[in-house]
Amino acid sequence: MTGRILVVDDVLANVRLLEARLQAEYFDVRTALNGEDALEIARRERVDLVLLDVMMPGISGFEVCRLLKQQPETAHVPVVMVTALDSAADKVTGLQCGADDFLTKPVSRTRLLTRVRSLVRLKSVTDELNLRAAAMQSVGVDPREIFTAPQMKGARILVVDDRETSIRHLHKALGRKVEAEFVKTAPEALEAVETGNWDLFIISLSLTGADGLRLCSQIKAIDHLRHIPILIVTDENENAKLRRALEFGVNDYIVRPLVEAELRARVTTQLRRKRYTERLRAMVTNAVELAITDPLTSLHNRRYLDSHLSSLLDRSAEAGKPVSVLLFDIDFFKSVNDRYGHDAGDDVLREFSARLKKGVRGIDLAARFGGEEFVVVMPDTDLDLAAPIAERLRRDVEAAPFVTRSGLELPITVSIGLACLEGKGEDADRIIKRADAALYEAKAAGRNRVVKAAA
């Protein structure tokens, strides 16, 4: 795992020490001796992590962190405070400014490198999601608001710990803003993770009679739980376990004795990050839906139809199964637009699509082909079975007038052409052309009828 790390400290010796340690692990290192230079480098270059001193002349590390988190181009860059300050209040201040961790000098090599690797890995995932959700701004979502909004209230947290002192601190730190469930054993935890909709797991590495690290790995191995963050509770002497935990995907850790304010800040950070990635994933899913959906009718669009029909025909030809294609054209649709306006025409298209969706089977694909033309693809269906279905759909359109939003009642009919897969070698264009020829016959014969394509 490599990445570009920005090291910020006003003491050159400290900068050189961190630079040497990181370069030995093949990280690309940038350096700055003050906050102003750090902000400029972070804005100018794509960095994956900032190691930031707190006590600097001019702009303090707290202020640098706050400014980094406010700017869209750097808001998602992880920040680790590296400083001689060691009070709980200083840690909480750093985390509240948006820092992802707060390490006290002198920093052990193990903790530094495990933290860096973990956060760089997280940054790479975030970068990928951001790239795939490039249309984020166009749908009115500000990524800074997603990332910085507090997310404690209403979150569901599972705590696995059997030390009474830790449990008391955790109870007090989490308070009533979250829904926290406490269990003391690994079997109880594995049962609970499968039965709840969790936002965060807090797991002790020092469970009596069980391996907390193995429990973390078992949870990470469950597909639908992999994206739920894990915060581990560890003792000072558990560096080896801590390193292993961070290597296989544990998100964060806190060292006993627990500081309640620090714990709240770390929990908030993990919940905030989870909500952020969930929103990004949802936007990616929505972008895919938009790419294959016709915005007016909510049916699949021509792009999706072409891809789906081609693959379906190939599979059906190989298996020797029939596929029928129904091509619809709304009769005299142009006159609706000309006489009543395009708003009325849009209402007709929407209502026609609703009746079409209601009348087809779950395995069928209904799509807008273009303009007032629509297609229904029917797998495992020959012409003898498709024809009565097409006739029923035709009658459903004719049965009742289409009512526009302005109150107009318009009698609408539809012409339908049918074609069926003739065997191996027939592609999507060919079967559509045969359905189109049958549709032309239906229109030439007076419209409002179903015609099968010639064999």
Give the residue numbers marked as catalytic: 372
DSSP 380-448: T--HHHHHHHHHHHHHHHHHSPEEPTTS-EE---EEEEEEE--STT--HHHHHHHHHHHHHHHHHTTSS
Residue 159 corresponds to which amino acid? V
3-state secondary structure of 55: coil
Q: 């975030």: which residue's tokens?
A: 126
Reference 305, options 230, 384, 260, 368; nearest CA is: 368
Cα 359 from chain centroid? 33
The token pair that represents 445 in the structure block: 């014969």
**Distance of alpha carbon 140 from alpha carbon 267, whole angstroms:** 28
Cα 160 from chain centroid? 28
Residues 6+ apart with CB under 8 A from 409: 401, 402, 403
CB atoms within 10 A of CB 258: 18
Reference 262, options 375, 103, 129; nearest CA is: 103
Distance from first CA to last CA of the chain, Å, rounded? Answer: 61
Query: In terms of DSSP H, where are the helices of 293-379?
Result: 302-319, 333-340, 342-359
The token pair that represents 178 in the structure block: 């979250």
What is the bridge-based pairing of β-strands 230-234 and 402-403? unpaired
Q: 């230079």: which residue's tokens?
A: 37
Q: Which residues of 341-374 are buried (b: 16+ CB within 10 A; e: fewer)?
A: eeebbbbbbbbbbebbeebbeeebbbbbbeebbb
**Distance of alpha carbon 103 from alpha carbon 83, whole angstroms:** 7
Q: In the chain, what are the helix, strand and coil shares in percent, each to the nearest 5?
A: 50, 20, 30
Q: Which residues of 173-196 are buried (b: 16+ CB within 10 A; e: fewer)?
A: bbeeebebebbbebeebeebbeee
